Amino acid sequence: MTFKFDNVYIKDIDIVVGQNEKKGPLGSYFKNSYQDFYFEEKTWEQAESKIAFETIRNLLNRNQVDLLIGGDLLNQLTATSFAARNFKIPFLGIYNACATSNEGIVLASSFIDKKLANNIIVNVSSHNNAAEKQFRYPVEYGGPKPQLTTFTVTGSVGVVLSNEKSKIKVESGTIGKVVDYGIKDAYEMGAVMAPACAQTIYEHLKSLNRTIDYYDLVLSGDLGEVGKKILKEFIKKEYNINLKNYNDCGTMIYNIRKQSVYSGGSGPACAPLVVYSYIIDEMKKGNLKRVLVVTTGALHSTTTVNQKETIPSIAHAISLEVAM
């Protein structure tokens, strides 16, 4: 399901990250960061909620906003809800795992394009330790993991979408469908999500009657090095699409060779950390004109994995363009 938007622009961005993201190749783009994982709070969950609070607060201080749409990886989306309770602003909680950010952008863009709102914040966050604790093992175990797994980013990213003209436009968006290729291993996120990513790219191009070279760059959300290879092969074989000017945000947020992040970054904040810093900057500089961002989410829980269920996934796409 694809929408074209005529009057939706990125008005403001606010980002807070943890130490690993600050030390990564895009570190210079992140002005606000914390040195440890607690951010002066007592727990990792409170820490995540704190940075979600900070990005939302900073955007509200600089903008008149009608609505907050947001989500995170924590059970019951508490990072976002607990941040939202500090502000008197209408709130909609959304969840499609690491595809959440584009779910929010498509919803917000639809509302703005149809004049239901003037300015909407979309905020997503994730926290490595809080996610590890919830989804895997106690972090203190230090258990080794397979190299194909990914590393949840620590960060909060808020974006104000607006009908007020700016340099960057949200030109269109595609809502994806749930796919399930029968994978049960929760470490194989790249393989789980690559088919959903491929399907959404295909449907986006088809519904807008475009070929892949319409875009200067195609970015997947957080497939990592392993999933990136799978996507390229899969989308060629299944849909005959040659991904040339393509990269994966999970492979861009860290220096994979030097930082111990396995196959790369992941989490709802992973793609937004890359897109709303470096990519937007490149677009403003004129180095990129049209960028397709496809965020990818794995829709399992620890319960479903323990019950030996296969893992469904979904991907949503947005097209960002330098405004004329």
Residues binding its own copies (CB under 8 A): 1, 3, 42-43, 45-46, 66-67, 71, 74-78, 81-82, 84-85, 87-97, 103, 107, 110-111, 114, 116-117, 134, 175-180, 299-304, 307, 309, 312, 314
Q: How far is Cα 313 from Cα 223, in angstroms, rounded to an integer?
A: 12
C-beta of 26 vs 122, nearer to its own copies: 122
Q: What is the distance in angstroms between the CA of the first residue and the CA of the last residue of the chain?
A: 26
| Residue from 315, 321, 262 nearest 291 by CA | 321
Closest residue by Cα to residue 131 from 220, 20, 33: 20
Q: Work out how close the CB of 257 gets to its own copies at its nearest, in angstroms, rounded to a whole number.
A: 32
The CA distance from 135 to 94, in Å, is 19
> Considering beta carbons, is residue 39 or 246 the nearer one to its own copies?
39
Residue whose CB is less far from its own copies, 38 or 91:
91
Residue number, 80 or 251, with CB nearest to its own copies: 80
Distance in angstroms (rounded) separating the CA atoms of residues 47 and 51: 7
Cα separation, 321 vs 112, whole angstroms: 17
Identify which of residues 17 and 74 has a Cβ nearer to its own copies in the complex.
Answer: 74
The whole-angstrom separation of Cα 113 and Cα 7 is 6
Smaller CB distance to its own copies: residue 107 or 157? 107
Coil, strand or helix: which one is 213? helix
Closest CB 117 distance from its own copies, rounded Å = 7
CB of 136 to its own copies, least distance (A): 14
Closest CA to 217 of 316, 319, 296: 319
d(CA 4, CA 175): 12
Give min distance, CB of 140 to its own copies, in A.
17
CB of 68 vs its own copies, minimal distance in Å: 9
| Shortest Cβ 181–its own copies spacing (Å) | 10
